[in-house]
Amino acid sequence: MEIIIQPNAELAARTVADVIAQALLAEPRVVLGLATGVTMQPVYDQLVQKHHEDGLDFSRCSTFNLDEYIGLAADDPRSYHYFMRHHFFDRVNIDLRHTHLPDGMASDLEAECAYYETLIARNGGIDLQILGIGLNGHIGFNEPDSAFDSRTRVQALSRATRAQNAPLFPAPAQVPREAITMGIGTILEARQCLLLATGLEKAEIVSKALEGSVTVAVTATALQLHPNSTIVLDKAAASRLEKADHYRETPLPKPD
């Protein structure tokens, strides 16, 4: 695992956007795994800026999002479909036919999960998977105790996750109780994983995820097993790491 600590959240987001831009420049048909959430918004803002100012071209890439709530339609402002269009897809020249999110309204949810896995495989697998981390250590919506070989499936959301996401809903009771998520096994098959965490409230879980024992109790620890994973943090999210000084000596990835 490579750990990059940036002085602030803006520079951390920029580092992630730069890695995505480099991947696109190296391979315009790159398959990106994408995440939603507050942490990701500045990353998408940076990518939109690169599109407008530097002509960064998204027209040939494909994307697969990690997750979607069950029971929210694509045009529901709280759905992850809506989030992606609002924050990213509608602001760049991506071909919407190449963008994918699980369908939380599917009548047969199990079939939808299997279909999502098939689609990822048919596209040659994910080259670069972007991840955030939940306060309980989840990646995607892989809540504590998710098996490391789990695949795309329906996942009941924990109380902690529903509380974390409640501010986006009119009332906490309206946060969906279930979601479709890529599994840990699905995520670990990506050729590269890139996790971004910012802010003091993530510091404790980041230290468990990066320096704690590998355990299904903190599913982000699975990234310790991945041969090509990079973690980008701001100073606040890194503040509980015991070996922060050592990680700071790691050189930043060089643009091609």
Q: Could you tell me if 141 and 157 are in contact, meaning their C-beta atoms sit under 8 angstroms apart? A: yes
SS3 145: coil
Distance CA 221, CA 215 (A): 6
Contact track, ligand F6R, 51-70, x by CB under 6 A = ---------------xx---
Q: Which is nearer to ligand F6R, 140 or 183 (CB)?
A: 140
* DSSP label of 25: H
Q: Which is nearer to ligand F6R, 176 or 248 (CB)?
A: 176
Does 67 qualify as catalytic in the annotation?
A: yes
Q: Which is nearer to ligand F6R, 30 or 182 (CB)?
A: 182
Contact track, ligand F6R, 67-106, x by CB under 6 A = x---------------------------------------
Please provide residue 71's backbone torsions phi and psi, each rounded to the nearest 5 degrees: 95, 0
Does the footprint of ligand F6R cover residue 140 (CB under 6 A)? yes
In angstroms, give the least distance from the CB of 245 to ligand F6R. 26
Does the footprint of ligand F6R cover residue 223 (CB under 6 A)? no
- Among candidate residues 18, 65, 136, 234, the one labeled active-site is 136
Does 138 qualify as catalytic in the annotation?
A: yes
Does the footprint of ligand F6R cover residue 37 (CB under 6 A)? yes
**Residues 6 or more apart in contact with residue 171 via CB below 8 angstroms:** none
SS3 156: strand
Q: Of these, 26, 38, 111, 121, which contacts ligand F6R (CB under 6 A)?
A: 38
Long-range (24+ apart) CB contacts under 8 A made by 206-215 are: 206/133, 206/231, 206/233, 206/237, 206/238, 206/240, 206/241, 207/240, 207/241, 207/242, 208/137, 209/133, 209/137, 210/1, 210/3, 210/241, 211/241, 211/242, 211/243
Q: Which is nearer to ligand F6R, 57 or 76 (CB)?
A: 76
Q: Of these, 33, 42, 104, 134, which contacts ligand F6R (CB under 6 A)?
A: 134
Active centre residues (catalytic): 67, 136, 138, 143
Residues that bind ligand F6R (CB under 6 A): 35-40, 66-67, 132-134, 138-141
